[in-house]
Structure 1
Amino acid sequence: MTDSQRQDPLHFYLDKSDPSAWKAVGALSTAAKASAQAAGLSDQLIELVFLRVSQINGCSYCLNVHSKRATRAGVNAQRQALLAAWEETDVYTDQEKAALYLAETVTELPAKDERDFAQLFTHGALTDEQYGAVQWLAIVMNVTNRISIMSNHPVKHD
């Protein structure tokens, strides 16, 4: 099918257009999550990172998916609701705050001095393995967000 034959350009699903690439993204996501778990990061922290990155990127589909996963991992409604203002509250651990700061840095890609500060800020709360794992989680979520956003993945009513 050529581009001119496509019926509705708003319903082009990037993930379905190249199943092997989508499968590779899935494998990368699985590997990043396994690496994070092996580094001692909890499923709650992993889902908080996924949610925060999805908030920044405005990916409604991923927010819907990961809010459900966060609930299953034990993240309560208060912690989910306050996530956009995590710096203003004490409902997150130092490790979670460090991971969220690092995930935001990976997502926003600020200037070098701000990236350096992120490394210093997270140093005491994350091991080297956790520091790397959080970056991989954020990178994978950024890729997934972009695929979902460009595919206009719909959020279905529960």
Structure 2
Amino acid sequence: MRSLILLPALLCLLLCTKTLAAGADHDWRLTPHHLSLVLGGTDTEKHPSAFTIGVDYEYRLSDFTGVGAVAEYARGHLECWTYLLVADLHLTPAWIIQVGPGFEKKGTKEHTVLRVGTLYEFSVGPVTISPQFHYDYLPDYHDAVVAAVGVGFSF
């Protein structure tokens, strides 16, 4: 079941071997919005390898900072939605640390969540491909690990 998480990351690395050194080559000042479709898997101690699909939006404020929102749905045994407001800290043009609070909705229950994660955006023409890894801390529930690949574009 862990292959559900590792497969997208390995596939992305295979597809991006020619762009490893390229990084993000667009000027964010011209296209400050960025939207990605995110596919991967979510693991918790109780529920391993739930297929996860989501959307990640960022509005770039400066060379270092962007703000945005993330919405993800984890299927399978988890069957939950996660909604986050995030800060994207651009350590390099392509390497990003993402942090932010939010909540997870599972049935009628809601849990507070704090996400800390990292992603690396490879530019392939007008498209970005970003392997990502996130840790979701839920103080009153099971923490989660999300490994995914995002495919996005700036506008």
TM-score, normalisation: structure 2: 0.25
Larger relative contact order, structure 1 or 2 (CA cutoff 8 Å, min sep 6):
1
Determine which structure has the larger helix proportion and give its number. 1
Structure label with greater radius of gyration: 1
Determine which structure has the larger strand proportion and give its number. 2
TM-score, normalisation: structure 1: 0.25
